[in-house]
Every structure is written in C-alpha cells, then in structure tokens.
Amino acid sequence: MTAIRANGRAAVTRLLALAFAGALASQAFAASPPEVLLQGEASQRNTRRPAVDEDRRLRDDRAAMVRTQIAARGIRNEAVLAIMDRVPRHEFVPTDQVRAAYQDAPLPIGHGQTISQPYIVAYMTEMLRLEPRDHVLEIGTGSGYQAAILAELAKDVVTIEIIKPLAEDAAKRLERLGYRNITVLHGDGYFGSESAAPYDAIVVTAAATHVPPPLVAQLKPGGRMAIPVGETWAQNLLLIEKDKDGKLTTRNLLPVRFVPLTRGR
C-alpha cells in the first residue's frame, strides 16, 4: 500500500472521492493490500466539534452506561471511563437504534454485523494499556466506534474493515465527527497492514479460529494484542503480549461472543 498524505479537510475529501471511484473496479482479495478510505495523521489532533443537538437524555444515558455497565463491572482506568463518557455512541448506530445506543448490548449495524457491547469495548481498551504515543491497529472497523475510543487515547489508529459499505460509512462518520488521527482501510484484516507496521497495540473485534500470524509479526516488542479466538458460540478473549526479546505470553481473559472474522473471497 502506498502511503498517501492528506492535509486538511479538502485533501481528505478528495482522497475519499478517489478511493470510492476506484472501489468499483477492485474487489477485496485475500492478500491484496487494503484500500485507503480515510487517511489519518498522528500529528493531527482531534478537532471534534461538540456533537450537534445532543440532548440531555442521551448524555444522561451515557453517564448511566459508564456507571452501571462499565465502572460497576470493574473498569478502573480513569482515562477509559472518561472517554466512554465522552464519545457519542449514538452517532455510531443506525438511526432506528439511537434510542438503544446506551443499552448494555451489542446492536445491529447492517450487513449482519454489530457494534460491540459498551462494556466489551471498554474492557478491551483497558487491557491494551494505551499510552498517548501509541500506534494502534484495529481489525473490524464496523461502525468505527472502537476506533474512535482508541484514537482518543493513542497517537493514531489504523483500522481495517472487510465489508466495503461499512468501511465507507465509518470513514465518512469519523471524518464528520472530526477524527484526524484515524486511517480507515478496506481489506482483509487477517493480514494486518504491513506498510504502517509495527504497532504498539492491536485489537481484533471479530472472532478468529486462530491468532493470525501476520498480526503477531506486526506487533512491536513490548506490544499488546487483544483478540477473541474460538468457535462461533464459544470464544475466549486472549491478551497476547510480546516482550522486548520477542517472546510471547498469552492470557485467557474471559469468554466472549463476537461475529466471525471472515476471509477475503
């Protein structure tokens, strides 16, 4: 994948237009390099405008979500709690799901996919122990919600989605919400994104049958990866850490249920 630089809104918009036009001709394929839908830059801070017309009920629902679903279940990291309280989850769900946006559940986002339960998003984020200088990879962009949470805590995020319309929608949504440090790619995340590797942290938000070797290879020494591994109905969330010498340790964190990590056709 060639690095494409974009500075400011006009360039990003132009880039999106180019990416969309090019999309008609290309299909996602196994090892083909991912296609850039939104180009972020680590040097660009988030310039998110306050969410428009966000009413008090949504803010109250979100505060209650943090208290009763996330803090109450043991998430202690102050930065994670603060970000979960600030990012407007209702902006990431289809309009007919806005009223359900702060419920204790995954929600449908179309194409048979879901936005993860808020607690799981917070839990995976906490386990990654992000630092402001971290370069992060997410597999399974979906709505873009987890990418936004990561982008608030890290230097920048590269996120890969295999379903093109979801990748396009997430790229548009993240741009509209003012995220300038997220790169959205369309492609098969099994292979990660070699051109932006290595990563301080990797999070996979779809369940794999095994840990993809390319993702392990793209993890920095000292890096952390959270990934659900297992069969359709019984998966475990694993935390894989690579030490300074490249030695891996794996911890089994908890049983989870994610949609499957599919492969390029």
* Residue linked to tokens 């049958």: 209
Closer to ligand SAH at the Cβ: 43 or 178? 178
Closer to ligand SAH at the Cβ: 9 or 86? 86
Q: What residues line the site for ligand SAH (CB under 6 A)? A: 113-116, 139-140, 142-143, 145-146, 160-163, 166, 188-190, 205-206, 259, 261-263
* Residue of 112, 118, 127 lying closest to 163 (CA atoms): 112
Write the CA distances from 174 to 25, 128, 178, 222, integer angstroms: 25, 22, 6, 29
Minimal distance in Å, beta carbon 112 to ligand SAH? 8
Catalytic residue among 32, 116, 193, 195: 116
Closer to ligand SAH at the Cβ: 69 or 146? 146
Closer to ligand SAH at the Cβ: 231 or 245? 231
Beta bridge partner(s), residue 36: 185
CB 120 within 8 A of CB 193: no
143 included as an active-site residue: no
Minimal distance in Å, beta carbon 139 to ligand SAH? 5
Minimal distance in Å, beta carbon 107 to ligand SAH? 9
Write the CA distances from 248 to 96, 127, 225, 241, integer angstroms: 43, 16, 10, 6
Minimal distance in Å, beta carbon 10 to ligand SAH? 28
Task: List, by residue number, the catalytic residues.
Answer: 116
